[in-house]
Structure formats: C-alpha cells, structure tokens
Amino acid sequence: MENNKTRAIKEAKEQSLVLFSKNINLDIGSQVSRNYMGGIIDELNIDTSKTKDLYDIYDALVKSGLTISLYDIIEWFNGQYNLIREKSRDLPELIIPVYKEEKGKEEEAHLIVIHVDDNSIEFGDLNESPYNEYFRRCYIVDKKNGNYICLSGAGHFETVALDSEKKELLSEYLIIAQDFKEYLKAFSYFHSTNNLSSTYNYYNKGVLGTAIFGTNPFKNLEQFFVHYGSGGNVDGYFFNYELGKESLPSPTFRPWHSHMTQNPESYDEDISDIINSPHVLAKTLRVRKGLLPFEIKNN
C-alpha cells in the first residue's frame, strides 16, 4: 500500500490541475477529467506525444509560470504579517464599544478585517453571526465616502456615522492598511468564516479549503490551515503552519479519510519522510495566479 506521503503528493498534483482549470465548478473530490485536461493541454501548448500521464502535465504547469505554490503564498503571507504586526504594535486592539438598540445595551465589538481596497477598509464584528444576532454591523472607514457603521438584517438596512473616537482609531488602522493592501486582501480570501460555502467555494477557491486562525491580521494571527482533497471516500489531507515566526516552521500534517474512523490503525504508518521534507505538500500544491484576488508584493 502506498504510504501517506506518496498519496498526499499525488493528490496535491491532481488537485493543482483542478485548481488551475478555469472551470472549477466541480463536485467535492472530483478526479481530473479529460474534458478540462484538454483545455489545460491547449492553453499550455503541451505536446501530448511526449506526455505519459497527468503528472507530466503537472510538470508543464509548474514550468509555465502561471501558478504559485501554497508554500510561496504562506511564506510571503507570514513575512507580511510580521511586518504589519511590528508597524501596528502601538495601536490599541480592535475592540470598540457599540450601543445595540435591539438589545438596549452597549457591547464590545471585536473587529476583524473583511475587506480592503485603495480607499477604504471594512471591519466586521467577530462576535456577530447570523446564528447569534438579529442585526449584523460592518464598520467602514472610507477616504471618499465618509466613515460609518452599516447595519443590516431582517430586511432592515441603515447607516450610522462613526463617532470621532471610533473614527480616529479605525483611521489609524486604515493608514497602515494602505501599505499592506495585498496582504489584507489575501487574509480576507483565505480566512475562515461562519459561512462554510465562503471557505470552501468552488466558484472562489475550487477544491481548496483554507482558514487563518486568529482575530486580528494586524496583531494576532495564529495559524494558516490548508485542506485539499475531499476526505470521505476520496483521499483528503490538511497541513497547518504556525504564523509569526521569522521563518516558517515545519507544518503539522494529517491524512483525512472516512475509512480511518473504521480502521485508524491502518493509517498509523511511518510518515518520517514527510517530517524529513516538511514543506513538500505546500510546495507541491499550486494555484493559478490569475484566479487570486491579490498580488504578492513585498513592502
């Protein structure tokens, strides 16, 4: 039986081809089909007389310059996090008091970045979700359109001006955010949400599940989590990198198959080869650069 490393690398190559395809509306665990393999072959102008299998096509994909590995993304992301954390070291935490009329009381909003562009930054409240709030709020600091709280829910929508104290705090974050727009766009793209479809969305990330654990991309991030493959009856794997170190430490790794629950002992095999080459999965798994909503730029 193939060991977990061999299977995990093969699955990473296969899912890289799926992620490269512009037609990523696929069922969980879909295998690489000839239909869109043909599209990849045509796009890369591959000489099929010299290719033996889909892994030869994967090698052509790597050489094309059109993709980037998850390792390169996470390494860049970690470096940007270290820089922005240093620049925002003296800023207060993103916690502001908000009076909630529907509850008749003031509560603390623990803010998290949900969107950033050239002129504005938008925060959501980590404590609010469709499951525990009647209304949800977003806090927007906008150079052009003013600064306000957007309140929505149950068919109701309104905006409320931010008071000067909140505006001043969030404006300080906006100043730093302008220098780290691509990093914050990447955070918005990869971080986990309460909506599973946002985290694992075929029209968005294809067959790639991700999460960034932590509450504040300026100050407090913990881990970058990547899942690929289905799990269930199809091979699935995840690896997890700790953020905030000077260089990326070895990730944790785990195979995820439904039959593990039936016979977990069969997956206790030696994975020392993964340990001895800890970044191999992140370096193998690749995505198309053109489908990413951010650019990798260094400050």
Q: What is the pLDDT of residues 73-121, one digit of tens each?
A: 999 999 999 999 999 999 988 888 998 888 999 999 988 888 887 788 8
Coil/strand/helix, residue 95: strand
Segment holding 276, helix H or strand E: helix 272-276
Higher pLDDT, 277 or 34: 277
* Pairing verdict, β 120-125 and 136-142: antiparallel
Where does the pLDDT of residue 128 fall: very low under 50, low under 70, confident under 90, or very high at 90 and above?
Answer: confident
What local confidence, expressed as pLDDT, does residue 25 receive? 39
Q: What is the pLDDT of residues 63-83, one digit of tens each?
A: 888 899 999 999 999 999 999
Burial 201-217 (b: 16+ CB within 10 A, else e): ebeebbbbbbbbebebb
Mean pLDDT of the chain: 79
What is the greatest pairwise CA distance in the chain? 72
Q: φ and ψ at 226, to 5 degrees?
A: -130, 130
Residue 262 has pLDDT above 50, yes or no: no
Most confident of 18-27, 127-136, 165-174: 165-174
With a cut of 70, say whether residue 173 has pLDDT above it.
Answer: yes
Q: Give the residue-averaged pLDDT of 239-253.
A: 93
Tokens of 285: 């798994």
Kindly give the residue spans of alpha helices, DSSP state H, lying in 91-234.
Answer: 164-179, 181-190, 196-199
**Model's pTM, two decimal places?**
0.82
What is the reported pLDDT for 281?
92
First to last CA, the chain: 47
Which of 217, 241, 215, 216 lies closest to 227 in space, CA to CA?
Answer: 241
Domain definitions of the chain by residue range: 4-84+184-291, 90-178
What share of the chain in percent tops pLDDT 70? 76
Given this model, what pLDDT does residue 116 score? Answer: 80
pLDDT at residue 48, as a whole number: 64
Identify which has the larger pLDDT, 37 or 27. Answer: 37
Confidence of residue 261 (pLDDT cuts 50, 70, 90): very low
